[in-house]
Chains A and B, each alone.
Chain A
Amino acid sequence: MSARNASAGGGDRAGDGEPADDLLLEVNQSSSVSLSSLMSPSSAASMSLSMEMPRKRKGSIDNQDSKSASIPDADMEDDENGSDGEERDVKMKCIREPHSQIEKRRRDKMNTLIDKLSAMIPTCNPMSRKLDKLTVLRMAVQHLKSLKGSASAFSDANYKPSFLPNEELKHLVLKAADGFLFVVGCDRGKIVFVSESVTKILNYSRAELIGQSLFDYIHPKDMGKVKEQLSASELYPRERLIDAKTGLQVQAYLPVGGARLCSGARRSFFCRMKYNKVSVKVEENEFQASSSKKKESQKYCTVHCTGYMRSWPTSQLEADGEGEADKQDSAHFSCLVAVGRIHSHSSPQVNGEVKVKSTEFITRYAMDGKFTFVDQRATTILGYLPQELLGTSCYEYFHQDDLPHLADRHRKVLRSKEKIDTNCYKFKTKCGSFVTLQSQWFSFVNPWTKEVEYIVSTNTVISQASRSGNKSEQSSHSKTSDDGKKSLPIIPGISATPGSMIYAGSIGTQIANELLDFNRMNSSPSSGNVSPFSLPQDKSPQTHNQISNNVPNGEAADMEIAGKSSSEDEPQGAAFSGEETLMGEHSQMDLDSVVGPGLSNFSNDEAAMAVIMSLLESDTNLGEAVDFEDMRWSL
């Protein structure tokens, strides 16, 4: 045998001064080989016996402290024997490592188990010093004996020992689930037995239920279902089976008649059972007829019943004093033994108030208010697909009344690093109506370029209940419309030349421009203390914007002048504004050529926007306000 060879080889090597581990390995193997014969009835007794043998043998070899407690396991034998066949030298050394580790692991495991055991046993606990293993085991044996002795149920002759006696099992089941056991006869649905726990669940006492028909306690609509489950008759001869491979239903004509009712057949179904409301004042109910009492407390709970069919010899049932004439006829009484459980988690949570997650969606804007990202949830709220919104400026959709406020917020968010809340505002949906939103804006600044990359907006739909925000909008609107131009929204910082309306796209871009100019001015060292962009003042932005306001109807001269003045105004931003005005001219001309005089005639601002958008798309941050006299907000 390979093991013997190994031991022989080991023996040879012993003389060479190999560490004792090697020897031990051999010894282990040899001893384990001999042990394997002993292992077949590997009860604890034999194990302890065999433990002695290797101990003795090892005792004769030096240096075996580390291994004295090792117990060769059956598994390890295989490992060792299998690996011995190979080149011994190399393998031995390789095995040594894992082998010792395996040994160590096993020892540790045993030690922890022994510790746990000692913790369990009451007599072991108070001992101050750590007991050795054998003692612990002995005490465990004693303890178990004592436990056995105290439980009288064990003395039953028919006792088949199981890990837990049935009674305690029952308790466990009850702990795991709110359940009760019930036995009903199949022919009439008579409740033969019900366990104690039913009172906790259905609030009926045991005495009330036993002897009654089950169908009295089942929801009327479920009666048919339960009847089927209990019935023996073959109403549905064709069992519908699903072929596991193809997943298709196979109509199989099975001789199911007998199978349905045979003992052991399982049932599982859900049904609604009545439960009694806890009646606080019993006196009041005394005068009521029992039927009406039931009417009052007709609440049902869903019970998941699982069980099996069983046939009872009637003699037993008669002993309970419930024998009936019917039962005496049949020799066996088939019934369903089932456990009914309440799954309270499965019924819908009705809190009284419906926890509806507030509909919100997230959008991202570029600096000038154009959508760069739209959450897909926006579609259900706004009606627009994300692609319809992308690239368009958010100002197109804001309600007229809300523009001042939102523009102000826009400005604010570009400058601050915190989240800015807007009031409620109205957003135009695809079908033309408005939905009230409230947003939280937050600008994201690229840490390297220090530029505002985009604005993240979390938009929440506000139900109509909140009106306060709107009111403030109203008041501000009324204030600013003093100049008589009611149809024109006045946005602070963006002044409109008389007769012109603020173009939606322009608002965003203008605001963005302000910021850029501001940044440019600040970034260039010679900018001095020009800070024209403080919010209340807004002087130069105004002029700036005035400059940007193009009037397409032939005010090109103004344009040029404006361009010059703008360049004067902001020397640092000259190049920038120069571009802008150039573009402005360009766009103006384009507009003239493309749109012509018809621009003002556009009743549908969207179409006009589309045109202008395409122009604006050619530049990134430049804003051209295209004036449109009769451009109306489509409301």
Chain B
Amino acid sequence: ELAQQLPLPHSVSSSLDKASIMRLTISYLRMRKLLTSDEPVAEEETELDIQLNSSYLKALDGFLIVLSEDGDIIYLSENVNKCLGLAQFDLTGHSVFDFTHPCDQEELREMLIHRTGSKKTKESNTERSFFLRMKCTLTSRGRTVNVKSATWKVLHCSGHVRVYDPHTEQTTNGLKEPPVPYLVLICDPVPHPSNIEVPLDTKTFLSRHTMDMKFTYCDERITELMGYDPEDLLNRSVYEYYHALDSDHLTKTHHNLFVKGQVSTGQYRMLAKRGGFV
């Protein structure tokens, strides 16, 4: 009976077992709670607006995930199965640590911590951006396999820690609930060069490196972008071309690459042939 009450498609709700129903109900209620604290939408929405609301999810490459402070998945968007092969409702309510690589769990725990700023009104940084390995049951052919034989997929997770502050609500016994922080993340898969469904434009070039970042191959598109011939670059470490101020960030990214397997850098500056930075 409870399952019928959940706003789920009937096909799904009829195949849930008890524990799952409980899980989903709890998550649903949590989500409602978190979202109702928002400011109401001031402007009225046009029709187009309403229509396009549905395209948010489709437009995103990755999926959305909302985590509680101790790592429970409160909400997971549907397109997780496109990305990871796992089903939305299988995961909701479970702890995210069940699905992430053990070595990344420490990092994830740190991300979940929300330190409220001290009284000196120091705004704590709510942004989070990190790489996480999650279980992926998609094979290269697009089929799904069992969770037990899942591989790891590297996701670039970026988002914010938001705090749900129930100070506006009045519970019946007058007790104020403590503010609940939660983490909202968009997890993008890091594109693998062999699997690019998005066409690369002329401003993108491909290059291959040895483990210490020496060029072994470079696309010729680099010529018009930076002036180098690919042969110029061969066997030279790409660190020679990084801007000094970015080298810190890039070194960390390089480390991350070895740990996680895939990584994407932020913006950085690279030396062009005739001087100046690109």
Contact assessment for A173 and B33 in the assembled complex, using a CB-CB cutoff below 8 Å: no
Across the interface, which residues of B come within 8 angstroms of A347, CB to CB? 266-267
The one of B18, B25, B60 in contact with A144, judged by C-beta atoms closer than 8 angstroms, is: B25
Across the interface, which residues of B come within 8 angstroms of A141, CB to CB? 1-2, 5
Contact assessment for B9 and A161 in the assembled complex, using a CB-CB cutoff below 8 Å: yes
Which stretch of B95-103, B131-139, B145-153, B197-205 is in the interface?
A: B197-205
Across the interface, which residues of A come within 8 angstroms of B243, CB to CB? 348
The yes or no answer to B49 lying at the interface (CB within 8 A) is: yes
The yes or no answer to B184 lying at the interface (CB within 8 A) is: yes
Across the interface, which residues of B come within 8 angstroms of A143, CB to CB? 29
Contact assessment for B140 and A244 in the assembled complex, using a CB-CB cutoff below 8 Å: yes
Across the interface, which residues of A come within 8 angstroms of B184, CB to CB? 172, 175-176
Contact assessment for A348 and B246 in the assembled complex, using a CB-CB cutoff below 8 Å: yes
Nearest Cβ on chain A to B87's Cβ, whole angstroms: 12
Question: A38–B57 Cα gap in the complex (Å)?
Answer: 38
Nearest Cβ on chain B to A78's Cβ, whole angstroms: 14
Question: A171–B37 Cα gap in the complex (Å)?
Answer: 12
Across the interface, which residues of B come within 8 angstroms of A168, CB to CB? 31, 35
The residue on A at minimum CB distance from B8 is A161
Which positions 144-158 of chain A face chain B at CB distance < 8 Å?
A: 144-145, 147-148, 154
Contact assessment for A346 and B6 in the assembled complex, using a CB-CB cutoff below 8 Å: no
Nearest Cβ on chain B to A502's Cβ, whole angstroms: 41
Which stretch of B112-120, B155-163, B231-239 is in the interface?
A: B155-163
The one of B25, B245, B266 in contact with A346, judged by C-beta atoms closer than 8 angstroms, is: B266
The one of B19, B162, B171, B200 in contact with A110, judged by C-beta atoms closer than 8 angstroms, is: B19
The residue on B at minimum CB distance from A147 is B32
Interface string of A13-43 (1 = CB under 8 A from B): 0000000000000000000000000000111
Q: A144-B25, A348-B246 are in contact. Are A163 and B7 (CB under 8 A)?
A: yes
Across the interface, which residues of B come within 8 angstroms of A145, CB to CB? 5
Which positions 171-204 of chain B face chain A at CB distance < 8 Å?
A: 171-173, 184-186, 188, 191, 193-203
Nearest Cβ on chain A to B226's Cβ, whole angstroms: 13
Contact assessment for B266 and A343 in the assembled complex, using a CB-CB cutoff below 8 Å: yes
Question: A362–B57 Cα gap in the complex (Å)?
Answer: 53
Contact assessment for B200 and A162 in the assembled complex, using a CB-CB cutoff below 8 Å: no
Interface string of B60-92 (1 = CB under 8 A from A): 110010100000000101100000000011001
The yes or no answer to A215 lying at the interface (CB within 8 A) is: no
Question: A183–B53 Cα gap in the complex (Å)?
Answer: 12
Nearest Cβ on chain B to A240's Cβ, whole angstroms: 7
Which stretch of A117-125, A424-432, A490-498 is in the interface?
A: A117-125
Which positions 1-47 of chain B face chain A at CB distance < 8 Å?
A: 1-9, 13-19, 21-26, 28-33, 35, 38, 41, 43, 46-47
Question: A302–B268 Cα gap in the complex (Å)?
Answer: 12
Contact assessment for A47 and B194 in the assembled complex, using a CB-CB cutoff below 8 Å: no
Nearest Cβ on chain B to A591's Cβ, whole angstroms: 47
Contact assessment for A196 and B43 in the assembled complex, using a CB-CB cutoff below 8 Å: yes
Which stretch of A266-274, A279-287, A454-462, A511-519 is in the interface?
A: A266-274
Contact assessment for A170 and B56 in the assembled complex, using a CB-CB cutoff below 8 Å: yes
The residue on A at minimum CB distance from B249 is A348
Interface string of A336-358 (1 = CB under 8 A from B): 01110101111111100010000
The residue on A at minimum CB distance from B130 is A345
Which stretch of A221-229, A410-418, A475-483, A570-578 is in the interface?
A: A221-229
Question: A240–B220 Cα gap in the complex (Å)?
Answer: 12
Contact assessment for A113 and B199 in the assembled complex, using a CB-CB cutoff below 8 Å: no
The yes or no answer to A200 lying at the interface (CB within 8 A) is: no
Across the interface, which residues of A come within 8 angstroms of B201, CB to CB? 225, 228-229, 269
Q: Compute the total of residue contacts between A and B using a CB distance below 8 Å.
A: 238
The yes or no answer to B48 lying at the interface (CB within 8 A) is: yes
The residue on B at minimum CB distance from A221 is B203
Across the interface, which residues of A come within 8 angstroms of B158, CB to CB? 176-177, 341, 343, 345
The yes or no answer to A243 lying at the interface (CB within 8 A) is: yes
Q: A116-B26, A163-B7, A168-B35 are in contact. Are A144 and B2 (CB under 8 A)?
A: yes
The residue on B at minimum CB distance from A160 is B9
Nearest Cβ on chain A to B10's Cβ, whole angstroms: 8
The yes or no answer to A109 lying at the interface (CB within 8 A) is: yes
Interface size class of A (residues with CB under 8 A): 35 or more
The yes or no answer to B52 lying at the interface (CB within 8 A) is: yes
The residue on B at minimum CB distance from A350 is B245
Contact assessment for B55 and A337 in the assembled complex, using a CB-CB cutoff below 8 Å: yes
Across the interface, which residues of B come within 8 angstroms of A173, CB to CB? 56-57, 60, 64, 186
Question: A222–B278 Cα gap in the complex (Å)?
Answer: 13
The yes or no answer to A359 lying at the interface (CB within 8 A) is: no
The yes or no answer to B254 lying at the interface (CB within 8 A) is: no
Q: A163-B8, A166-B53 are in contact. Are A176 and B160 (CB under 8 A)?
A: yes
Question: A229–B203 Cα gap in the complex (Å)?
Answer: 11
Across the interface, which residues of B come within 8 angstroms of A350, CB to CB? 245
The yes or no answer to B214 lying at the interface (CB within 8 A) is: no
The yes or no answer to B208 lying at the interface (CB within 8 A) is: yes
Interface size class of B (residues with CB under 8 A): 35 or more
Across the interface, which residues of B come within 8 angstroms of A344, CB to CB? 127
Q: A240-B206, A337-B52 are in contact. Are A169 and B194 (CB under 8 A)?
A: no
The yes or no answer to A635 lying at the interface (CB within 8 A) is: no
The yes or no answer to A211 lying at the interface (CB within 8 A) is: no
Contact assessment for B1 and A47 in the assembled complex, using a CB-CB cutoff below 8 Å: no
Q: A113-B19, A126-B172, A176-B185 are in contact. Are A354 and B5 (CB under 8 A)?
A: no
The yes or no answer to B58 lying at the interface (CB within 8 A) is: yes
Nearest Cβ on chain A to B265's Cβ, whole angstroms: 8
The residue on A at minimum CB distance from B18 is A47
The yes or no answer to A386 lying at the interface (CB within 8 A) is: no
Contact assessment for A224 and B202 in the assembled complex, using a CB-CB cutoff below 8 Å: yes
The yes or no answer to A308 lying at the interface (CB within 8 A) is: yes
Across the interface, which residues of B come within 8 angstroms of A341, CB to CB? 158, 186
The one of B13, B21, B60, B173 in contact with A339, judged by C-beta atoms closer than 8 angstroms, is: B60
Contact assessment for B56 and A125 in the assembled complex, using a CB-CB cutoff below 8 Å: no
Contact assessment for A337 and B19 in the assembled complex, using a CB-CB cutoff below 8 Å: no
Nearest Cβ on chain A to B249's Cβ, whole angstroms: 7
Q: A176-B159, A244-B140 are in contact. Are A348 and B268 (CB under 8 A)?
A: yes
The residue on B at minimum CB distance from A229 is B201
The one of A44, A71, A126 in contact with B2, judged by C-beta atoms closer than 8 angstroms, is: A44
Contact assessment for A166 and B56 in the assembled complex, using a CB-CB cutoff below 8 Å: yes
Contact assessment for A170 and B61 in the assembled complex, using a CB-CB cutoff below 8 Å: no
Question: A544–B114 Cα gap in the complex (Å)?
Answer: 65
The yes or no answer to A600 lying at the interface (CB within 8 A) is: no
Contact assessment for A148 and B7 in the assembled complex, using a CB-CB cutoff below 8 Å: yes
Across the interface, which residues of A come within 8 angstroms of B4, CB to CB? 44
Contact assessment for A338 and B59 in the assembled complex, using a CB-CB cutoff below 8 Å: yes
Contact assessment for A345 and B127 in the assembled complex, using a CB-CB cutoff below 8 Å: yes
The yes or no answer to A74 lying at the interface (CB within 8 A) is: yes
Contact assessment for A47 and B17 in the assembled complex, using a CB-CB cutoff below 8 Å: yes
Across the interface, which residues of B come within 8 angstroms of A329, CB to CB? none
The yes or no answer to A193 lying at the interface (CB within 8 A) is: yes
The residue on A at minimum CB distance from B162 is A175
Contact assessment for B59 and A308 in the assembled complex, using a CB-CB cutoff below 8 Å: yes
Nearest Cβ on chain A to B42's Cβ, whole angstroms: 9
Contact assessment for B21 and A44 in the assembled complex, using a CB-CB cutoff below 8 Å: yes
* Closest 7 pairs between A and B when the two form their complex, measured CB to CB: A346-B266, A244-B194, A144-B5, A113-B22, A166-B53, A120-B29, A176-B184
Show 17 A/B contacts (Cβ-Cβ < 8 Å), sorted by A.
A43-B16, A44-B4, A110-B22, A117-B26, A120-B25, A137-B2, A148-B7, A173-B186, A176-B158, A177-B159, A181-B56, A302-B267, A337-B59, A339-B56, A343-B129, A346-B266, A348-B246
Q: Contacts A43-B16, A337-B55, A343-B158 given; 17 further ones with Cβ under 8 A?
A: A43-B15, A140-B25, A143-B29, A166-B53, A176-B64, A176-B160, A176-B186, A177-B158, A228-B202, A242-B196, A256-B199, A266-B198, A267-B198, A269-B201, A306-B188, A348-B267, A348-B269
Q: Which residues of B contact A (CB under 8 A)?
A: 1-9, 13-19, 21-26, 28-33, 35, 38, 41, 43, 46-50, 52-61, 64, 66, 75, 77-78, 88-89, 92, 127, 129, 140, 158-160, 162, 171-173, 184-186, 188, 191, 193-203, 206, 208, 219, 243, 245-246, 249, 265-269
